[in-house]
Structure 1
Amino acid sequence: MPRADSAFPAPVLNDILEAFPSKERERFLLGCDPVELRFADILAKPGERIRHVYFPTGSIIAQITPIDRRVGLGVGMVGNEGMVGIPLILGATTSSLPAVVQNAGSTLRMTAVLFRRELQGSPVLQRLLNRYLYVVMTQLARTAACSHFHVVEARLARWLLMTQDRSHSNQFHVTHKFLAGMLGARRVGVTTAALALQNRGLIHYCRGDVTVLDRAGLEDASCACYEVDRADSIWILGEVKRPA
């Protein structure tokens, strides 16, 4: 389970929260606990009651749709551009998708009860999260099509770019096993795709440690879904002026 740590410094690095007017943001943060997430922590399970929402500041959370009891498919990734706990925006109280920590790191956590209260009293939060919800729904549909029509190498490049964007680093850790689950591919297929990207000088990959060597080349190797996803993420905050 996530570990709460009152001594853990939690600067506001979440795009949604940074878009708040300063006074409203300060009040909202009083209801948040800084938490350190560990790799493979499970934050949500299908059918379980949602007890907390998460606004990542330094962690990455993968959302997975189960196909059967043994396999699933990664359909979303949440970093400091978003939040985990979307069903609460729509008035639901249970989770529909599993949420698993892909990269360990910091997050801000708020109880579901307090979040619903804040949502009812904040037009700014409602507007931001409605936009975020629209983008997530669009990206879910795009990911489903991408998984069907695009080859593993292009989808791997897309996933690595998404991870790099949210880790804010050229280096991060992700295993073949985890990538295979996210991409809905066999591990041998992920290995072949990773070697192809490495042989082209785009990445270095060794025992789960990834270094992006050629960002522009990796974007060229990715399917077009990545650029559309990134444009959507920028649009979320398009009508909200960030405070200085």
Structure 2
Amino acid sequence: MADVDAKGIALVTGGGTGVGKAMVRALADTGWTVVIAGRRLEVLDEAIREFGPESSAKVHAIVADVGIPGSVRALFEEVESRFGRLDLLVNNAGSGAPAVPLDELDVEDWNRVVAANLTGAFLCTQQAFRIMKAQTPRGGRIINNGSISATTPRPNSAPYTATKHAITGLTKSCALDGRAFDIACGQIDIGNAATDMTERMRAGIVQPNGETMVEPTIDPKLVADAVVYMAGLPLDANVLTMTVMATKMPFVGRG
């Protein structure tokens, strides 16, 4: 069984790129042993190399597709086998669909986004509950990446918005169902963290009135620092929802 740092064992899905990678680095830098999960080993390995020797020693890559039940089951079984417990799950993996009118959206794109964003979070949460309920000391924490689309949509974003609204329901259900087992569950809603996903925004993004606007972004490290704060609370305290966003982005009053 691998050595465990004082903060405990964390699992971050979709941790090889973007804001997930920033979360992994921040958790490792603050004393967590972090399992980084994603579909492509080369992406995970490259992320770990970027962290440098001190942080990378605390990060372990496991290949998994969160939309496939068997893959998720194998992921959590390996985490439990290698580390003996799980103290933190960050459901970060997700995907979007082409920004096309709703009536032109392929059902395959809908199903792909639902599998990655919603079914994946459910499957990982289910496996985390199983471990957290049985381990000693009992309990743990789950943090879901909701996105501000969990509150307000952008134009032509039905699959992404629907799944992120559903993540809010999953967060609240898990917060309720986890109470009796010392499992805390919260959600971070992120607005315009500067990652590869938001790179297209440099040329402007369509607004509800049809205009195209270049929107401000923020450093993903600010989001990662917020996750570190949420993760570091004692289990008798919980951040149920937190929004971290670019101050001047058109979110409040959108539409």
Both structures adopt the same fold (TM-score exceeding 0.5) = no
Give the structure, 1 or 2, with the largest relative contact order (CA under 8 Å, sep 6 or more). 1
TM-score with structure 1 setting the length: 0.30
TM-score with structure 2 setting the length: 0.29
Query: Higher strand proportion, which one?
Result: 1
